[in-house]
Chains A and B, each alone.
Chain A
Amino acid sequence: MLLHQIHLPHYKNSAESATAELPLPDKVIISMAQHIGAPCSPTVAVGDKVKIGDIIGDSDAVMSAPVHASVSGTVTAITDVLHISGRNMKSVVIESDGKGEISERVKPPVINTRADFLKAVRDSGSIGLGGAGFPTHVKLGYDPKENQPDCLIINGAECEPYITSDYRCFIEEGEEVLNGILLILKYLGIPNCIIGIEKNKPLAIEKMQKLCEPYPHITVKPLKSSYPQGAEKTLIFSTTKRIVGAGKLPLSTGCIVVNSSTAPFISQYIKTGMPLVRRRITVDGNIVGKPANFSAAVGMSIGEIVYYAELTDKPDRIILGGPMMGACAFDIDYPLAKTNNAVLLFANTEKYSQTNCIKCGRCVRACSMNLLPTELETAYDARDAAALEKLNVNLCVNCGACSYVCPAKRNLAEKNQLAKAFLRDYNAKNVKEGK
């Protein structure tokens, strides 16, 4: 079986730019919604002094991870900030004292058992660093009696154009990636690991292959450079030929997928105890003079970060994440989140207007889930819940390939997202009315 995939231009302009550590900013705005799931509640009050690594937000919900201070200083406000999702989210504002003091509680965790390891992963504030932001301890905290995976898959596909932060991670911290893998395998009792890397990153493949030589149970799998190679179901199929059933989790196939930047973070946390307060971010786009990778404090203003990449013009679009799945920022001063692997700035790019669907079928051939985006659009426009259900709209992974290839420039991916929300509301209403 061959999966539908599309070819995208790579634009990996920042690939050879080594990660530069940015200085601590004067002020950080740290959102309590850093991950998928329940947002945290602030655990600090205005006027509190905090140091780097102190917990400033936490939640009792399972689907969450704590949030830590990324600078030392004083909490000056706890306010609502417009989140990228379009909702207002509580955020903690910290004025830096410029000292960059590290909290006393930052010390290597003591780990003896699986439970210790999972607790450490939770305490680290680790979330999937690839963009979706799934709390890592939830992913790793499966019930081993129910589903014990036999394969850990490290997602180093980085199939989105422009982004090179995972690539830099392999090049600069390959040893830590390996160490993180060994830790996960050891404490979770998973026998094998496959590192999936797209072939457009030959140096990363070479480096990881060399590092993994002494470990026969860890293999590096070079993947075709195509989109969406890094989508979870696609990646599982490309590395193991296993198919995740509709509506099922990867665990059902015995696989667990972790982003390639998450593994080294876990390794470093266990060595140092420093929680997730900084991350690597690619800055690129058609008005960026020096495409680069930076390591920046969580909560730092995007505007401050991109200043170091020398903009040549005023942006008219700022995208957080990749150009295929990233979201538009409302404001250049949007604070950096744990999930942001890239910020892309564009100005005066070609604008297309929508025209009639010509039924060319390019979207159908592009859909990695083998759906019919053109039919889905018609069904959504008619608000036909039965048809949407029959066409399996909920299988759509929102990779955006259909919109990308459409010669009529129709926003098919957007329609799929709207259709999913419509179907959710429709079904909820039916349940309520007892239908």
Chain B
Amino acid sequence: MSKLIIEPSPHIKSPVTTQKIMLCVIIALLPALAASIWIFGLRALVMTVVCCASCVIFEWAVRKIMKRSSTIGDLSAVVTGMLLAFNLPVTLPFYMAVIGCFVAIVVVKQFFGGLGQNFANPAITARIVLMLSFTSYMTSWAEPFYYRQPELVTTSTPLAGESAASLSDLFFGTVGGCIGETCALALLIGGIFLVVIKVISPVTPLCFIGTVFVLSLISTGGSIEGAVAAILSGGLMLGAIFMATDYATTPITTKGKIIFGIGCGLVTMLIRCFGTMPEGVSYSILIMNILTPLIDRFTVPKPFGAAKKTGGTNK
């Protein structure tokens, strides 16, 4: 008698794996990477490679030290590396970026149990740590196409006030800013790709961007152009499409995602309008990350056929 496998049902599994999902996110980030190389030069690519490599090495090393199985194969460290690089100014010294990778992978992700267990988005938290540690480096943005000029010129982001970037500049990303956040077009292409292949739900980005749009409309006194500029500038597109849709740190249900998205938009606008910082996307996502378990608790779906009144057990 030959040996037979005995296993619980179901006996077939969908071909979707964690690794394939991460690969799709990486592919979705490639248009923004290409745009960043065009806008900020080869150093944008080098920065991305440095971040990805350090994230993977940190993940491998920390798992090794903790005597746990290696998880670099799931590619999530690469995604974190790319997202972190996209959130950094192109001129940032590499060692600072490596510190950011350490914070993201070791402190935020692995100390809490690894993939899926972290409560805050690793790349966002690392960016905030760098922002607080190296504020001046983190807030001096190179001019677009600075690499073609003899001298390095830095600029503020359009959100910081005086500069008047045109809508087309904002849409194509030819403005100052972090590596991967400026080109709204490239980010939208990636986002639509992820929605079409059903890796992310469009609910969170739409609620996030929609809330910012509506609140900007109100705060600018009904200027459509101003509101469009508001959703195209800063890290909003990058944050809404790629960071606010992170599985582990955002609510599971659609209702929860709506609350999360609107909350992110609200906090972003509060910071942009009343805060001392020019940009609030990363803080808003971090705050909503922390609120996610609470949102999940309040948005438990009603089981099919369950009594209208919840609470207590059925039967």
Contacts and interface: CB of A to CB of B under 8 A. Distances in A.
Contacts of B76: 358
Given A327-B9, A398-B9, A408-B18, A374 B303 contact: no
A328 B4 CA distance: 9
Contacts of B7: 317, 328
Interface in B3-40: 3-14, 16-18, 20-21
A430 interface: no
A135 interface: no
Interface string A381-420: 0000000011110110010110111111101011001000
B116 A411 contact: no
Given A331-B4, A370-B302, A361 B247 contact: yes
A317 B4 contact: yes
A358 B315 CA distance: 33
A392 B314 contact: yes
B305 A326 contact: no
A417 B314 CA distance: 18
Nearest to B201: A361
Interface size class of B (residues with CB under 8 A): 35 or more
B18 A407 contact: yes
A61 interface: no
B306 interface: yes
Contacts of B71: 355-356
Contact of B1 (A326, A331, A369, A405): A331
A323 interface: yes
B129 interface: no
B5 A317 contact: yes
A63 interface: no
A385 to B, nearest CB: 11
Contacts of A314: 2
A278 interface: no
A404 B119 CA distance: 26
B303 A392 contact: yes
Contacts of B301: 364, 370-372
Interface stretch (A64-72, A195-203, A242-250): A242-250
B163 interface: no
B115 interface: yes
Interface size on A, as a range, is 35 or more
B185 to A, nearest CB: 27
Contact of B305 (A8, A352, A360, A395): A395
A400 B3 contact: no
B122 to A, nearest CB: 13
Interface string A235-270: 001000001111110000000000000000000000
Given A331-B1, A403-B13, A417-B8, A246 B115 contact: no
A233 B304 contact: yes
Contacts of B49: none
B305 A355 contact: no
A233 B5 CA distance: 31
A329 interface: yes
B4 A403 contact: no
Given A246-B307, A369-B303, A371-B303, A404 B10 contact: yes
Given A233-B305, A246-B307, A356 B114 contact: yes
Contact of B4 (A318, A325, A390): A318
Given A245-B305, A395-B303, A407-B18, A414 B116 contact: no
A46 interface: no
B76 to A, nearest CB: 8
B17 A409 contact: yes
Nearest to A361: B252
A143 interface: no
Contacts of B116: 356-359, 408
B169 interface: no
Interface string B285-315: 0000000000000001111111100000111
Most chain B CB inside 10 Å of its own CB: which residue of A359, A370, A398: A359
Given A361-B252, A364-B253, A352 B13 contact: yes
B248 interface: yes
Contacts of A395: 303-306, 314
Contact of A244 (B2, B305, B315): B305
9 contacts: A245-B306, A323-B10, A325-B9, A331-B1, A352-B17, A359-B252, A369-B304, A392-B314, A406-B14
Interface of B: 1-14, 16-18, 20-21, 71, 74, 76, 113-117, 247-248, 252-253, 300-307, 313-315
Interface of A: 3, 8, 161, 233, 237, 243-248, 314-319, 323-332, 344, 346, 350, 352, 355-362, 364, 368-372, 374, 389-392, 394-395, 398, 400-401, 403-409, 411, 413-414, 417
Shortest Cβ-Cβ A-B pairs, 6 listed: A400-B10, A414-B8, A361-B252, A246-B314, A358-B116, A360-B247
